[in-house]
C-alpha cells in the first residue's frame, strides 16, 4: 500500500470514544442511550469505517467482513502484513453457513463452545473477499460471547472482521487505555467496555475433513477440545520455533509478536533456585521481573511487576499483556519471567510468552546466582 492511501484512510481520524457502563455489560440489558450509540457504531461499520470493540478475549479492531476495502483499512491501521488473515466475527454459530463450508464437526465444536473464545477455520465461500483471508481459501470464524460485541454484530447486519486492536507486533489490548495508546487517530470509534475477561486471544482450531488441529491455544483448553473429538493435533508452532523457510499452518505464527522492546528471558528450574537467581539479578538497576504474587515480598518492589499467583495460570493470562505493556514503559534492558507450565490455560500462556521471549529460555541449576545472563 502506498503512503498516500494510508494517510487518507487512517491518519488524523477524529476517533470517538464511547464508554459503556460495566453494570449494563454484566446485565447485558442496554439503555436506550447505549443502544443508540451502538447503532451509530454499527452504521460506521456498514459505511466501511473502523470500530474498536471489547470482547471476552481482547479488544478487536472491527470492519465489515464482506468488504475488501474495509479489510484494507484494518491492515493499514494496524500496520499488519496483508498475508496475515483476519478472523470474522458472527452473531450466531449458524451464520457460518453464509461464509464457510461447514460440517458436522464444526457444529459439535459450536455446540460446546459458542458463543465463546473459540475460532474455527473452515473452507471459505465467495462471500468473503480474499483480502480478508490473506489470499487463503479458508476463513476463520468466531462467535464472541461479550454482550457488546454480539449486539454490535447484530446491529451491523454484516459479519465483523476483527484482529486484535493493537499495532502489529505489540501485545494485544485488554482494556481501552491500551487501545487508545495504539489506535487513537487511526480508527473512527473506540468502544470502552472495561477490561477483557480472559486477556489472551481466542483458541484457534482448523477443521480439515476429519482432522482437527490446534493452531493457537487460548481460553478453550486442549483438554476441553479433546472432549468434543479424539485426536486433536497441536501444530508444532504452538510451542516450537518455526524452522527457517517452514510454512506455518497459520500465517500469524511467523510474525514477531507480543514483544516488548527489551529482550525477555524465561527462567526454568526449581522455584527456590529461580528465586535465588532473581534476588541476585534484581541488584541490577536495568532489569525488570514479571514475578508471582508469592514472590513480591522477596524482590525489590521497583524491579517487579506482579503477574498473579503461582498456581493461577488464568490470573496470569488475564494480566500478561498489560504487564508486557507496563514493562515497556519502564524501559528496562532485560525482562525476566518464569517459564509457564504447558497444561490447561498454561499452554496459551506458554505460547504467548515463548514468543515474547523469542524462544529464549535459561535453565537455572541449583546454586546459580545471577551473573548477567545475556
Taking the complex as a whole, the smallest distance from the CB of residue 88 to Mg ion amounts, in Å, to: 15
Does 55 interact with Mg ion (rule: CB under 5 A)? no
Does 219 interact with ligand AMP (rule: CB under 6 A)? no
Name the residue with cell 525476566.
336
Taking the complex as a whole, the smallest distance from the CB of residue 41 to ligand AMP amounts, in Å, to: 19
Q: Pairing relation of β-strands 233-234 and 160-161?
A: unpaired
Query: Residue 44 CA to chain centroid, in angstroms?
Result: 24
Q: Which of residues 80-109 bind ligand AMP (CB under 6 A)?
A: 84-87
Does 204 interact with ligand AMP (rule: CB under 6 A)? yes
Position with the least CB separation from Mg ion: 164
Report d(CA 85, CA 96) in Å as an integer: 17
Does 164 interact with Mg ion (rule: CB under 5 A)? yes
Task: Identify which of residues 139 and 364 has a Cβ nearer to ligand AMP in the complex.
Answer: 139
With contacts defined by CB under 6 A, name the span among 150-158, 246-254, 291-299, 315-323 that binds ligand AMP.
Answer: 246-254
Does 139 interact with ligand AMP (rule: CB under 6 A)? yes
For 197, the 3-state DSSP assignment is coil
> From ligand AMP, Mg ion, none, which one binds at residue 351 (CB under 5 to 8 Å depending on kind)?
none
Within 10 angstroms of residue 349's Cβ, the number of other Cβ atoms is 25
Per-residue contact track with ligand AMP, 160 to 199, x per CB under 6 A? ---xx-----------------------------------
Report d(CA 271, CA 366) in Å as an integer: 10
Taking the complex as a whole, the smallest distance from the CB of residue 164 to Mg ion amounts, in Å, to: 3
Taking the complex as a whole, the smallest distance from the CB of residue 374 to ligand AMP amounts, in Å, to: 28
Query: Residues 171, 172, 177, CA angle at the centre, nearest 5°?
Result: 100
Query: Residue 71 CA to chain centroid, in angstroms?
Result: 18
What is the 8-class DSSP label of residue 134? T
Q: Which residues contact 4 (CB under 8 A, 6 or more apart)?
A: none
Q: Is residue 331 a contact partner of residue 284, using CB atoms and an 8 Å limit?
A: no
> From ligand AMP, Mg ion, none, which one binds at residue 316 (CB under 5 to 8 Å depending on kind)?
none
Taking the complex as a whole, the smallest distance from the CB of residue 122 to ligand AMP amounts, in Å, to: 8
Task: Identify which of residues 119 and 282 has a Cβ nearer to Mg ion in the complex.
Answer: 119
With contacts defined by CB under 5 A, name the span among 10-18, 62-70, 161-169, 358-366 that binds Mg ion.
Answer: 161-169
- Which of 159, 191, 150, 111 lies closest to 29, judged by CA? 150
Within 10 angstroms of residue 48's Cβ, the number of other Cβ atoms is 15
Taking the complex as a whole, the smallest distance from the CB of residue 225 to Mg ion amounts, in Å, to: 21
Task: Identify which of residues 237 and 305 has a Cβ nearer to ligand AMP in the complex.
Answer: 237
Q: Is the peptide bond before 115 cis (omega within 30 degrees of 0)?
A: yes
Q: Using the CB atoms, write b or e for 1-18: b if 16+ within 10 Å.
A: eeeeebeebbeebebeeb
Residues in touch with ligand AMP (CB under 6 A): 84-87, 121, 133, 136, 138-140, 163-164, 201, 204, 215, 250-252
Residues in touch with Mg ion (CB under 5 A): 164
Amino acid at each position: 500500500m502506498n503512503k498516500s492511501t494510508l494517510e487518507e484512510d487512517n491518519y488524523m481520524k477524529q476517533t470517538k470514544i464511547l464508554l459503556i457502563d460495566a453494570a449494563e455489560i454484566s446485565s447485558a440489558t442496554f439503555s436506550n442511550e447505549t443502544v443508540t450509540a451502538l447503532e451509530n457504531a454499527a452504521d460506521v461499520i456498514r459505511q466501511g469505517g473502523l470500530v474498536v470493540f471489547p470482547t471476552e478475549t481482547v479488544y478487536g479492531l472491527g470492519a465489515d467482513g464482506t468488504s475488501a476495502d474495509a479489510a484494507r483499512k484494518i491492515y493499514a491501521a494496524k500496520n499488519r502484513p496483508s498475508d496475515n488473515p483476519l478472523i470474522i466475527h458472527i452473531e450466531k454459530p449458524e451464520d457460518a453457513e453464509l461464509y464457510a463450508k461447514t460440517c458436522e464437526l464444526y457444529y459439535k465444536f459450536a455446540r460446546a463452545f459458542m458463543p465463546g473464545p473459540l475460532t474455527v477455520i473452515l473452507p471459505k465461500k465467495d462471500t468473503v473477499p480474499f483480502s480478508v483471508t490473506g489470499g487463503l481459501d479458508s476463513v476463520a470464524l468466531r462467535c464472541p460471547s461479550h454482550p457488546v460485541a454480539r449486539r454490535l454484530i447484530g446491529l451491523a447486519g454484516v459479519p465483523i472482521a476483527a484482529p486484535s486492536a493493537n499495532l502489529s507486533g505489540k501485545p494485544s489490548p485488554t482494556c481501552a487505555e491500551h487501545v487508545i495508546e495504539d489506535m487513537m487517530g487511526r480508527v473512527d470509534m473506540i468502544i470502552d467496555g472495561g477490561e477483557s475477561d480472559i486477556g489472551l486471544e481466542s483458541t484457534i482450531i482448523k477443521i480439515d475433513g476429519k482432522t482437527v488441529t490446534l493452531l493457537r491455544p487460548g481460553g478453550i483448553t486442549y483438554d476441553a477440545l479433546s472432549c468434543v473429538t479424539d485426536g486433536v493435533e497441536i501444530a508444532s508452532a504452538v510451542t516450537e520455533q518455526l524452522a527457517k523457510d517452514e510454512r506455518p499452518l497459520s500465517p500469524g505464527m511467523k510474525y514477531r509478536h507480543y514483544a516488548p522492546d527489551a529482550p525477555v528471558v524465561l527462567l526454568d528450574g526449581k522455584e527456590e533456585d529461580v528465586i535465588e537467581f532473581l534476588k541476585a539479578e534484581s541488584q541490577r538497576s536495568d532489569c525488570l521481573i514479571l514475578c508471582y504474587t508469592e514472590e513480591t515480598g522477596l524482590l525489590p518492589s521497583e524491579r517487579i511487576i506482579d503477574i498473579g499467583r503461582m498456581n493461577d495460570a488464568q490470573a496470569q493470562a488475564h494480566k500478561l499483556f498489560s504487564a508486557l505493556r507496563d514493562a515497556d514503559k519502564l524501559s528496562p534492558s532485560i525482562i525476566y519471567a518464569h517459564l509457564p507450565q504447558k497444561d490447561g490455560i498454561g499452554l496459551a500462556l506458554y505460547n504467548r510468552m515463548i514468543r515474547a521471549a523469542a524462544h529464549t529460555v535459561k535453565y537455572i541449576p541449583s546454586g546459580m546466582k545471577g551473573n548477567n545472563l545475556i
